[in-house]
Structure 1
Amino acid sequence: MRDSMRLKPLHLLIMALLAALALTTMSVRANTDQLYQLSGMATHQTHFQHALTAAQQRYAQQLPRNVYESLVRQSNQRFAPQSMTDRAQARLALSLDEASHRQAVNFYQSELGRRIVAIETQATSAASVATMQRGIPQMDVSTERLNTLRQLSVSLPALELGVEVSMSLANLATQSANDLLGGLFEVPGNMVDNRRDTLRGQMQPDLPNTLAYVYRDLTDAQLQQYLEWVQSDAGKNTSRAMELAAKDALNP
């Protein structure tokens, strides 16, 4: 009996491997938590929740009560803050290699990184979004700075994330009506893709001027330094991982 209950070497090995895996997973999650906070992603998510609430309130004046109640119930479930955080962090952990992760943390802990995060999170706040929706002035910048901004507009995931957030908020009413009325309001997939392409086409030409406005308080040297980070291997990996993380957060 005692022999049958005794842990054999294979059992001990399996337990050791499981323990090591658990510790590794905890370490990755802790590191991901740090990057999620440092990069401003947590703040951006909070700002998205504010935008979601505002969108729900607008629909309250436009939709029948039963459709509106379905919209609120489903959107609150789909965009539950903790679930969004969990999906985003899981994708970050999967998509970002250790070396890129380490360099990303170093960048966001630097003086420039902290400045960038402050600027970008301010830009997604409700007050800033409302201001920009009223119209961004045409920024007067040098040819050199405009070239830097154009490169940033290509390198940063700002366009795709802007499209993704817009689509998520715009589709709330359609999805709720479709679920409530048994497919009567169902939108074919190609129409959704066309809307996505239309949004992208509308936003893309204005993106360099939008970035000129958002980063207006950075010096030319700081803006160039930011571009160098974004275009580095670690910067590219980080931007791509964050784009995927944001898309996973918005699309359970």
Structure 2
Amino acid sequence: MTHRIPSALVLVGCLLTLAVGAQAQQASSEDIDRLLQRSGIEHFLDALPQQVGEGLAAAIAEDPDGTALLADSVQSLQESANTTFAPGQLAPVIRQVLERRIDADVAREVLAWLDSPLGTRLTRLENVASSPDYPRQLEAFMRALPNNPPAGERLELLQALDRAANITESGIEVVLHMQLALVVAVVETLPEQQRPTVPELLQSLESERPAIEQMLKQVSLSSLLFTYRDVSDADLQQYIAFLGSPAGKLFQSSLVEGLDLALIQAVRRWGNEVGRTLKAATLRQST
């Protein structure tokens, strides 16, 4: 069984990620609230259901033969995405990870950065990546880019930011999770003796990792060029330095872990919903 990677899922995977001592005192509930708010993750979660629904619609449009059974159920699946990926479903999972991993000292250091003029400005720019108009604006920016290409030093700096923020690496996992949810849903419609096992599906999807990585690296670089187009090299270097600090690394990895866990749970629920929809569509076709 082969699976084509819809480009819409790759973009969603990229955006998704552009958004994350033994005796140390635990961070207060108020500090965790501020971290969630100041980091922009809440803003991202608000926009996620629509992005997932639009990604599904785009995937169906790209591959009408492979998703024919879903074509008549786009609206109901988008409604289920609104419920499954609602902030109220995902935020508590992320919060639990932050509460477990972030102590008071780390919270203070991270909040000092997020509350700084530069940290506030960068978060505001990153929040724009969750807006409905972002894909259209990004496309227009990339069309005009050949007329004003970035310097090699700028590209190297943005690639360093990609590595520091784990944008491409995290995006790969997001895309694989979403692919697995859709593939498992389709497999559920097959006769039991024809269904591949989950390990077999995972092995098949893992074989696509190099292709996903190649696509995401380019999408990530394009997104970073656009998002930080008005940010100076010096300011980006400060951002990379924060992400590379012990507190920055811990906070970033905690956000990624929390979002990853929340999405794993969500895509499994949504995959079940897609599977039920496919079964119903199969029954309708057979009658």
| Structure 1 segment 85-234 matched on structure 2, within 5 A | 85-132=91-138, 136=142, 137-138=145-146, 140-181=149-190, 184=194, 186=196, 188-205=201-218, 207-234=220-247
Spell out structure 1 runs of 4+ moving beyond 6 A: none
Find the counterpart in structure 1 of residue 89 from structure 2.
Answer: 83
Q: Is the 8 A contact 1:104 1:235 kept in 2?
A: yes
Please identify the structure whose Cα radius of gyration is greater. 1
Larger deviation, residues 191-200 vs 167-176: 167-176
Q: Is the 8 A contact 2:28 2:104 kept in 1?
A: no
Q: Given the superposition, is the C-alpha separation of residues 207 and 51 from structure 1 closer, same or farther in structure 2, using an over 3 Å criterion?
A: closer
Q: 1:235 aligns with which of 248, 251, 254?
A: 248
Q: 1:249 aligns with which of 262, 266, 273?
A: 262
> C-alpha separation between the residues in 1 aligned to 2:181 and 2:223?
26
Larger deviation, residues 206-215 vs 98-107: 206-215
Q: Is the 8 A contact 2:157 2:236 kept in 1?
A: yes
TM-superposition CA deviations, 1:77-117 (whole Å, max 9, x none): 64343121111111122233332222111111111111111
Letter in 1 for 2:252: S
Q: Given the superposition, is the C-alpha separation of residues 75 and 57 from structure 1 closer, same or farther in structure 2, using an over 3 Å criterion?
A: same
> C-alpha separation between the residues in 1 aligned to 2:252 and 2:114?
13
> C-alpha separation between the residues in 2 aligned to 1:135 and 1:189?
36
SS in structure 1 of the partner of residue 112 of structure 2: helix
Q: Given the superposition, is the C-alpha separation of residues 145 and 64 from structure 1 closer, same or farther in structure 2, using an over 3 Å criterion?
A: closer
Q: Is the 8 A contact 2:172 2:209 kept in 1?
A: yes
Q: Given the superposition, is the C-alpha separation of residues 66 and 231 from structure 1 closer, same or farther in structure 2, using an over 3 Å criterion?
A: closer
Instruction: State the identity as a percent.
Output: 21
Q: Is the 8 A contact 2:109 2:247 kept in 1?
A: yes
Letter in 2 for 1:64: L
1:64 aligns with 2:69: yes
> C-alpha separation between the residues in 1 aligned to 2:225 and 2:137?
15
TM-score after normalising by structure 1: 0.75
TM-score after normalising by structure 2: 0.67
> C-alpha separation between the residues in 2 aligned to 1:206 and 1:155?
16
Find the counterpart in structure 2 of residue 48 from structure 1.
Answer: 48
Larger deviation, residues 216-225 vs 156-165: 156-165
CA apart distance, 1:197: 3.5
TM-superposition CA deviations, 1:214-239 (whole Å, max 9, x none): 21111222122212211222111121
> C-alpha separation between the residues in 1 aligned to 2:201 and 2:80?
20
> C-alpha separation between the residues in 2 aligned to 1:193 and 1:112?
38
CA apart distance, 1:164: 3.5
Larger deviation, residues 132-141 vs 38-47: 132-141
Q: Is the 8 A contact 1:95 1:241 kept in 2?
A: yes
> C-alpha separation between the residues in 1 aligned to 2:57 and 2:215?
25
